[in-house]
Chain A
Amino acid sequence: MIEKIKASTSEKIIFIFILILGLFSLTSFLLLKDRCLFVKNYDPEKIKFKDPSNIAILNVGCGNVIIELYPEISPNGVARFKTLIKSKSYDDVAFHRVIKNKLVQAGDLEFGKKGNIDYGKIGTGKSGLGTIKSEIDKEFDYSKGSVGLARTQKYNTEDSQFFIILQDEPLYEGEFTPIGKVIYGIKVLEKIKYLDKSEYVLRPDFINSLRLFN
């Protein structure tokens, strides 16, 4: 005959605690796995823009980043950006340089394309359209979300690479050509993959598409 043993109160408490812990761990695992969970995905079709011809939609893993372009500040820089967008050159290009809470950089069309990444040369690639002159004379507030064209240590070497800053960078004024500002979806960029020990990302995230709104 099997004797039925009743669980003591403390045993019941431990059992409930383990059950809750198990449930908590499972939900945390599922929630944390989805890095885009709390990121709002903006639909540009539902937004009214003042100047739709100067709106660019950058689509990445966690959703859309809506950028307003400023041709009056940097006509040549914006023209180059638009040219590359129209030719869909930025699609499948890596965010090769990402610094947590500081900036994301992409646009190496030569060494940063999905399936054709060259980690030894990424960041040095060209678009084939040649370099353009820096446009840094006009005043510009490099606040969080500003988009600028990357260059080498020398001026007038801007080409296809661009960066978006995730914090205010007042020292960038007069250094880098500003082309626009993120007006919706900056949080999407905060989810771009970065490394703790290096600015250059191995197995990086990619741009899904970059299109002009109009």
Chain B
Amino acid sequence: MKLFKLILLCLFLFSNAYANTIYDLIKIPHLEIYNIKTDNKLRYLYAKQPFTIGLDNNINCFNSRKKDLEKKYVIIEKNLRRYSKDFLKKINLKYIVLCEDLSISGIGTAGIPDNIMKTLIVDIKFNEKYFERVLHHEVFHIINDTYKEIFDKEIWSSFNPSGFNYAKCSTCTKKIGLDTYLKTNGFITEYSRSTASEDMAEVFSHLMYGNIPDEIDPILKKKIEFIKKGISKIDKNFVL
């Protein structure tokens, strides 16, 4: 036992300070490169071990099996390659972190965007049915956070039916349904009713995924135009 402790002590004493480039850049530990040779220069990283980050260590995510990563990477890359290198630079998105069972303060979430660190953490096991659309939803949060003045919440809220108020935060409500309404009434999904920013992200993701209902009400029509105009202000070449 003593010998074992001595060996452990020696290993500790003689191991070098391991400087992790990825950690230096985006402050998330235990990540490795999945693929960085992409046309739009997005860098895909994956969790080699579970990691914990955030204020009070409230963000957790776990490593995935290689097979799951391979399967989901194809889907994620297919969707995110629609954003050009120039557009991604304008919105401050560069790193995609792939992991599973992502949660913030114990609440499961599809993704955590951080435009300051140019990072989007994606839960590769999030709801299969909406997975692709939700990717665009999360990208919109990056866009919104980078261009708050373009996607003004007050202007957006003014489109809503009179008397309607959003919840105080996206997790402060039970309105979390992601099914697209067949009959819209200013909102495209139940989750749209949670906050202005989630509402915008839902509209944007439907536009990107191409599943806007055939019949849309005048409020939703205004919202769609607002998103389209906002995106064209950032990049007039962006195809929405």
Query: Residues of A contacting B43 with CB < 8 Å?
Result: 171
Residue of B nearest to A136 (CB): B89
Complex CA distance for A103 and B22, rounded to whole angstroms: 14
Instruction: State the CA gap A195–B36 with chains docked (Å).
Output: 31
B19, A196: Cβ atoms closer than 8 Å: no
CB neighbours of B36 from chain A (8 A): 170-171
- A102: chain B residues within 8 A (beta carbon): 19
Q: Which of A172, A175, A195 contacts B17 (CB 8 A)?
A: A195
A171 contacts B16, CB within 8 Å? no
Is B21 interfacial (CB 8 A cutoff)? yes
Q: Among the interface residues B15, B21, B22, B33, which one has the most CB atoms of the partner chain A within 10 A?
A: B21
Which chain A residues lie closer than 8 Å to B15 at the CB level? 196
Measured CB to CB, the closest approach of chain A to B203, in angstroms, equals 31
Cβ contact within 8 Å between A197 and B17: yes
Residues of A within 8 A of B21 (CB): 169, 171-172
- Per DSSP, chain A at the interface is loop
A198 touches B17 (CB 8 A): yes
Shortest distance between the CB of B59 and any CB in chain A (Å) = 19
- Chain A min CB distance to B30 (Å): 15
Count how many chain B residues have C-beta atoms less than 8 Å from C-beta atoms of the other chain.
Answer: 13
- Distance, CA A40 to CA B154, complexed state (A): 67
B17 in contact with A171 (CB, 8 Å): no
Select from chain B the residue with minimum beta-carbon distance to A99. Answer: B19
Using Cβ atoms and an 8 Å threshold, which residues of chain B touch A175? Answer: 25
Q: Does A174 contact B (CB under 8 A)?
A: yes
**Which chain A residues (175-205) contact chain B, with CB distance < 8 Å?**
175, 195-199
Residue pair B22, A171 in contact (C-beta under 8 Å): yes
Say if the beta carbon of B41 comes within 8 Å of chain A.
yes
Note all chain A residues with C-beta closer than 8 A to B25: 171, 175
Q: How far is the CB of A136 from chain B (nearest CB, A)?
A: 9
Which B residues are CB-close (under 8 A) to A171? 21-22, 25, 33, 36, 43
> Once the chains bind, are A199 and B17 in contact (CB under 8 Å)?
yes
Taking the complex as formed, is B94 at the interface, i.e. its CB lies under 8 A from any CB of chain A?
yes
Is residue B14 contacting chain A, with contact meaning CB distance below 8 A? yes
CB of A126 closer than 8 Å to a CB of B: no
A195 and B25 CA atoms in complex are apart in Å by 22
Binary CB contact string for chain A from 83 to 107 against chain B (1 if under 8 A, 0 otherwise) = 0000000000000000111110000
Cα distance A17–B194 in the bound complex, in angstroms: 83
Query: Given A169-B21, A171-B22, A171-B33, is A196 in contact with B14 using a C-beta cutoff of 8 Å?
Result: yes
Find out whether the CB atom of A174 lies under 8 angstroms from the CB atom of B41: yes
Q: Closest approach, in angstroms, between the C-beta of A170 and any C-beta of chain B?
A: 6
Contacts of B14 in A (CB 8 A): 196
CA distance A196 to B12 in the complex (A): 10
A197 vs B15: C-alpha distance when bound (angstroms): 8
Which of these, B17, B22, B41, contacts A99 with CB under 8 Å?
B17
- Least Cβ–Cβ distance between A166 and chain B, in angstroms: 11
Cα–Cα distance between A197 and B12 once the two chains are bound (Å): 10
A41 to chain B, nearest CB (A): 26
Q: Which residues of B from 1 to 49 have beta carbons under 8 Å from A?
A: 14-17, 19, 21-22, 25, 33, 36, 41, 43
Q: How far is the CB of B166 from chain A (nearest CB, A)?
A: 32
Question: What 3 pairs between A and B have smallest CB-CB spacing?
Answer: A99-B19, A100-B16, A102-B19
Residues of chain B having any CB pair with chain A under 8 Å:
14-17, 19, 21-22, 25, 33, 36, 41, 43, 94
Q: Can you list 29 residue pairs at the A/B interface with Cβ under 8 Å?
A: A99-B17, A99-B19, A100-B16, A100-B17, A101-B16, A102-B19, A103-B19, A169-B21, A170-B33, A170-B36, A171-B21, A171-B22, A171-B25, A171-B33, A171-B36, A171-B43, A172-B21, A174-B41, A174-B94, A175-B25, A195-B17, A196-B14, A196-B15, A196-B16, A196-B17, A197-B17, A198-B17, A199-B17, A199-B19
A residues lining the B interface (CB < 8 Å)? 99-103, 169-172, 174-175, 195-199
